[in-house]
Structure 1
Amino acid sequence: MGTVADRLTELGLTVPEVAAPVAAYVPALVDGDLVYVSGQLPVIAGELVATGKVGAEVSTDAAAALARTCAVNCIAALASVVDLERVRQIVKVTGFVASAPGFTDQPLVVNGASELFGAVFGPAGQHARSAVGVAELPKGSPVEIDVIARIAP
């Protein structure tokens, strides 16, 4: 199946610099064999690429693509504290979706992140997950993703 770096290349992805925190926290923290990745927004080159509510200003498909961008940023945060080849399992993904009233397809949005983790980490990318609709997210973002990963010593 190749290395994580090989799969990233096959997917046409480059791990960006870790996104700067928007408040008082660190992007990722190692505790034993777990890495806790703080919530990542759909930021590219330091800029939030979309704002709005999913189901109103942002379509489900567009939000899923934004969740994929969040997942790339989660991978960048992971890479800022450990070698990605040490990732043994993406244990838990939590997706927050800024939802318009009546929008109930949060799982379809978060699939954008889940599918990317599967493509990048293979079987180790399979994970437990929550997809939560919320009223607002930081900076007006439509989606935010956080991750817990298990790493090898």
Structure 2
Amino acid sequence: MSVIEQRIEAAGYTLPAVGKPLAAYVPTMRDGDNVYTSGQLPLVDGKLAGTGKVGETVSTEDAARLARTCVLNALAAIKAEVGDLDKISQITKVVGFVSSASDFAEQHVVVNGASEFLAEIFQDTGTHARSAVGVAMLPMNAPVEVEMIVKVTD
């Protein structure tokens, strides 16, 4: 088991199996040393772990926890692409999309759920650039979606 997977387990999580794409895309695309993930929803065993708009039916705290689930799904996809999460030398960019009530303005706090989890798991290599974007709706009525770019070494 990789050091990163050990840290994931120590944090109380398990790396899931890679989910099947829900539409016409692939989970990851590698370009040289960079791996790009498709947007990952908070799916657990093929089902959304929560639905609704943040600030309306989903709390900021619950959405931040769901953002961690999105990261786990992204990491599973990256592992399937490169074979070992210890090959990640830098989390380069995280983009979080938050399905937001019209007056909700804490998208950055929701996406902190992803960023703080990555910092915990990857430590210094988990530091990244980031965008936190409020949107009207996400696929399947998901509250949050996360995509990542990571640098890997072979």
TM range (shorter): over 0.9
What is the number of residues matched between the two proteins? 152
- Matched with 1:17 is 17
Distance in 2, Cα, partners of 1:8 & 1:140: 27
* Consecutive unaligned residues in structure 2, runs of 5 or more: none
Asked if the contact 2:5–2:15 (Cα under 8 Å) also holds between the matched residues in 1, the reply is: no
The alignment's C-alpha RMSD in Å is: 1.1
Give the gaps of 5 or more residues in structure 1. none
Q: TM-score, normalised by structure 1?
A: 0.96
What is the match of residue 152 of structure 2? 151
Q: Secondary structure at the match of 1:81?
A: helix
1:14-38 per-residue CA deviation (whole Å, 9 max, x = no partner) reads 2110121110111111110000011
Q: Does residue 77 of the first structure (1) align with residue 104 of the second (2)?
A: no
Q: Quick check: 33-42 or 16-25, which moved more?
A: 16-25
Partner of 1:62: 62
Which residue type is aligned with residue 6 of structure 2? Answer: D
CA offset at residue 9 of structure 1? 2.4
Distance in 2 separating the partners of 1:58 and 1:127: 26
Which residues in structure 2 correspond to 1:81-96 (within 5 Å)? Answer: 81-82=81-82, 83-96=84-97
TM-score computed with the length of structure 2 as normaliser? 0.95
Q: Identify the residue that residue 102 of structure 1 maps to in structure 2.
A: 103
Cα distance in 2 for residues equivalent to 1:119 and 1:38: 22
The structural deviation recorded for 1:6 is: 2.4
